[in-house]
């Protein structure tokens, strides 16, 4: 097997392997985050506060549906990395082509469901009347092109499973640049407004998909994609779903809880929705190093457990956890200090800036809990124990968060109390993960036929 474009995490210095893998993932996620950030910056500065609220208040809705399938593709990545670490070329190929076939089916389902249900869900979210029409057009266009998002997640998972985190970075750099140019052109030259940024994002996303699959079709190794092999292998699909379905459910229930939070925010008006949305966009950058290390942990742990390097998997997990916590807290300090200035990048509306800065400052010093939860979830998914993160997130980030919002909304008519839903639930999941991590034998997850 030629390894020139892949990385075996089963040998070499642990910290060096993880950092070299995580850095391109970090930069790739950075450019991925620029997609929606550029949308928000362009409409916030060149259209209106209502337009900004329209696109920032719909993120939870899109992720509610997309998150399920992208989480499920996490299972494909774990399965591929396990077979790749064990050097089982035939199984790697089956897992790759099954993942792509499943992505095509999932993308079609998302397109139909998202396009049809968008109006009903926006109403349930109490989307302000002055932004409803803009929000609906933005969401529907996004879902009409959602196949690009699903296919790219599938391709990205394949690259990362075999230790190639550089090529996804190159593709995202190109597509992000295209997105910036198209956003500015469609809004400032053609005056398409909110629909324009949605169309620009879709075009850029399909550009990255084309580049990714062109590379995979010429890859040297068992992960090479061949059109005639794209089909569902039932046995492989069961493995992918067994590991990935809990991650998909986890993403969906978190997104559902955030839809409830967004609904409570929307009740305070479009200015509050715009400020909260701007804060959420900025917080997306906090997630970048966190998710990068979490994804690195899934690949590192998956490959090493596939090769039965149990002690190496433990050492790598410890390095990832400590690194992620330190980085996230450094970002938290900077976010707290510069919160108002960062929100003003999106809007000059005083009420929106006040709401967004308040959200950032409440959550900033709790980023360590967010980091620890995501990193431990990545470790456990890499070990094949994806049900554990699902149950932890379901209990703390969904059930308790929704309960908190419902109670607090009746007791206090103050948006500050809504913002506290995030750090409180992050801390709950952190405690649960620490207890499980210290008490369980998680390293034997991929050897077991079921999870404990």
- Summarize pLDDT for 281-307 with one digit per residue, the tens: 788 777 788 888 888 898 899 889 888
Q: Is pLDDT of 5 > 80?
A: no
Residue scoring higher pLDDT (255 or 186): 186
The full length of the chain comes to 452
- Supply the DSSP symbol for 400: I
**Does residue 1 belong to any structural domain of this protein?**
no
Q: What is the mean pLDDT of residues 150-178?
A: 89
Q: Give me the number of domains the chain comprises.
A: 1
Cβ-contact 363, 331 below 8 angstroms: no
40 CB-contact burial (10 Å; exposed 0-12 / middle 13-18 / buried 19+):
buried
Segments forming the whole domain that contains residue 50? 14-444
Confidence class for position 54, pLDDT limits 50, 70, 90: confident
> What does the pLDDT read at residue 60?
66
Q: Is pLDDT of 449 > 50?
A: no
Tokens of residue 170, six digits: 């190159």
Say how many CA atoms lie within 13 Å of 52 toward its Cβ. Answer: 35
C-alpha–C-alpha distance, residues 221 and 4, integer Å: 9
Mean pLDDT value across the chain: 86
> What does the pLDDT read at residue 3?
42
Tokens of residue 106, six digits: 């999932």
Q: What is the mean pLDDT of residues 33-51?
A: 79
**Does residue 120 belong to any structural domain of this protein?**
yes
**Radius of gyration (C-alpha) of the chain in whole angstroms:** 21
C-alpha–C-alpha distance, residues 289 and 268, integer Å: 32
**Residue among 277, 17, 254, 8 nearest 134 (CA):** 277
Confidence class for position 361, pLDDT limits 50, 70, 90: very high
- Summarize pLDDT for 190-239 with one digit per residue, the tens: 999 899 999 998 999 999 999 999 999 999 889 999 999 999 999 999 99
Tokens of residue 287, six digits: 């997630």
- Summarize pLDDT for 373-414 with one digit per residue, the tens: 999 998 998 888 888 988 998 899 889 998 998 898 788 888
Q: Which secondary structure element, helix H or strand E, spans residue 395, and what is its range?
A: none
**Does residue 4 belong to any structural domain of this protein?**
no
Confidence class for position 2, pLDDT limits 50, 70, 90: very low
C-alpha–C-alpha distance, residues 25 and 230, integer Å: 26
**Tokens 């009903």 sit at which residue?**
120
**Does residue 203 belong to any structural domain of this protein?**
yes
**Does residue 6 belong to any structural domain of this protein?**
no
**Does residue 2 belong to any structural domain of this protein?**
no
C-alpha–C-alpha distance, residues 356 and 273, integer Å: 9
**Does residue 348 belong to any structural domain of this protein?**
yes
Q: Is pLDDT of 426 > 90?
A: yes
> What does the pLDDT read at residue 435?
94
C-alpha–C-alpha distance, residues 417 and 358, integer Å: 11
> What does the pLDDT read at residue 103?
93
């Amino acid at each position: 097997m030629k390894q020139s474009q892949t990385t075996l995490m089963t040998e070499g210095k642990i910290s060096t392997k993880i950092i070299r893998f995580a850095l391109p993932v970090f930069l790739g996620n950075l450019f991925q985050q620029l997609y929606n950030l550029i949308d928000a910056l362009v409409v916030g500065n060149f259209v209106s506060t209502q337009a900004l609220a329209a696109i920032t208040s719909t993120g939870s809705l899109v992720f509610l549906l997309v998150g399920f399938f992208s989480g499920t593709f996490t299972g494909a990545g774990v399965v591929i990395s396990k077979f790749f670490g064990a050097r089982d070329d035939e199984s790697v190929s089956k897992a790759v082509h099954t993942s792509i076939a499943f992505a095509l089916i999932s993308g079609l389902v998302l397109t139909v469901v998202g396009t049809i249900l968008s109006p009903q869900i926006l109403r349930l979210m109490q989307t302000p009347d002055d932004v409803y029409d803009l929000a609906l057009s933005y969401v529907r266009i996004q879902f009409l092109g959602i196949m690009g998002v699903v296919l790219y997640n599938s391709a990205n998972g394949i690259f990362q499973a075999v230790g190639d985190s550089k090529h996804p970075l190159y593709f995202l750099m190109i597509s992000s640049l295209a997105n910036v140019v198209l956003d500015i052109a469609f809004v400032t030259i053609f005056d398409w407004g909110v629909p324009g940024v949605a169309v620009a994002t879709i075009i850029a996303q399909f550009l990255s998909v084309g580049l990714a699959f062109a590379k995979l079709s010429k890859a040297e190794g068992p992960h090479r994609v061949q059109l005639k092999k794209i089909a569902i292998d039932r046995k492989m699909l069961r493995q992918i779903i067994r590991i990935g379905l809990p991650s998909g459910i986890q993403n969906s229930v978190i997104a559902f809880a955030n839809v409830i939070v967004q609904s409570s925010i929307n009740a305070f008006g479009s200015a509050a929705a715009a400020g909260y949305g701007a804060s959420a966009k900025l917080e997306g950058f906090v997630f970048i190093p966190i998710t990068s290390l979490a994804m690195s942990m899934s690949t590192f742990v998956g490959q090493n457990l596939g090769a039965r390097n149990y002690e190496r998997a433990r050492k790598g997990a410890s390095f990832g956890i400590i690194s992620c916590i330190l980085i996230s807290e450094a970002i938290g300090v900077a976010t707290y200090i510069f919160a108002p200035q960062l929100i003003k990048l999106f809007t000059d509306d005083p009420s929106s800036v006040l709401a967004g800065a308040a959200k950032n400052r409440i959550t900033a010093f709790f980023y360590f809990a967010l980091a620890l939860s995501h990193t431990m979830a990545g470790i456990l998914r890499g070990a094949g124990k994806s049900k554990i993160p699902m149950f932890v997130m379901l209990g703390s980030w969904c059930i308790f968060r929704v309960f908190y919002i419902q109670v607090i909304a009746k007791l206090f008519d103050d948006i500050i109390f809504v913002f506290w839903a995030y750090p409180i639930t992050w801390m709950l999941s952190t405690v649960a993960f620490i207890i499980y991590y210290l008490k369980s034998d998680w390293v034997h997850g991929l050897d077991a036929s079921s999870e404990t």
